[in-house]
Amino acid sequence: MLPGDVVRSHAATGRPTADRAAALASYYDSEVDDRATRALSDQREDHRDLFIDAVTNDGARSLLEIGCGPGIDATALAGVGLDYTGIDLSFAAVVMCRGKGLRVCTASAVDLPFTDNAFDAAWTMSTLLHLDDVEFESALREVRRVMRPGGLLAIGLWGDHVTSEQHLADKTGQRPPRYFRFRSDHDLRHALAELGQIEQWVTWTADPSPYHYQWALVRTHDSPRSSGPEANHGDGRQRQFGSDAI
């Protein structure tokens, strides 16, 4: 299962989006202190460094993080001089990040409170998997809207061999189940190709989870309607013994 987290799952019940968002905010509010001290895997940190190198070489200055959590990635991203902005559904996470001097606000990925072309780059890890397909498409459109044309987006999600929809409960049973949409590699790559060109694609596993992590670096199209062939720079699956628990 997902490392140290999930004990049961059941099929999605079709709860309204507002209810799902409230359940997610409540869950992550209650867990923010624990997540603030939870180490990321070597793979996650290595790919964050890769992203920093890519956006630095690209001349990016402003960065949006969607799903900042307690600010672990945010601290690293802001620490290299990027003009950092983050959002999260969890008010407790926002308060914690602000306490670290980070510019963050409470917001949803499907309704970003920013002007068009406001950011040079974007970063989102283990966040957009909480959206169903309609919401996911809306979030990608919002990302495209607030990013400058040709900007770089790094996205990381937990995926499965076959796309599935679930609610997963934590081991205590005291917190509300969280909604997940685990996308297959094919389905995720197809969705991202509508956003831009996939410049890097990597997956890895994290025992004992039955899922695998999907990490992509996408260069947004120059215009919302433009399209082009997807670049595939590696499909290697790598085994990772660490925790990127969602």
Q: How many structural domains is the chain composed of?
A: 1
Q: What is the pTM of this model?
A: 0.84
Query: In Å, how far are 42, 128, 140, 167 from 182, measured between CA atoms?
Result: 22, 10, 16, 11
Q: Would you state the pLDDT for residue 124?
A: 98
User: 98-109 burial by CB neighbour count: b if 16+ within 10 A, else e?
Assistant: eeeebebeebbb
CB contact at 8 A, 97 and 68: yes
Query: Which of 166, 142, 148, 155 minimizes the C-alpha distance to 221?
Result: 148
Helix (H, G, I), strand (E, B), or coil: what is residue 157? strand
Residue 50's CATH number: 3.40.50.150
- Reading the chain (246 residues) residue by residue, the pLDDT tens digits are 343 333 333 334 334 478 889 989 999 999 999 999 998 999 999 999 999 999 999 999 999 999 999 999 999 999 999 999 999 999 999 999 999 999 999 999 999 999 999 999 999 999 999 999 999 999 999 999 999 999 999 999 999 999 999 988 877 777 778 999 999 999 999 999 999 999 999 999 987 888 999 999 999 998 654 333 333 333 443 333 233 444
How much is the mean pLDDT over the chain?
Answer: 86
Range of the domain at 195: 6-240
246 found inside a domain: no
User: 128-160 burial by CB neighbour count: b if 16+ within 10 A, else e?
Assistant: bbbbbeebbebbbebbbebbeeebbbbbbbbbb
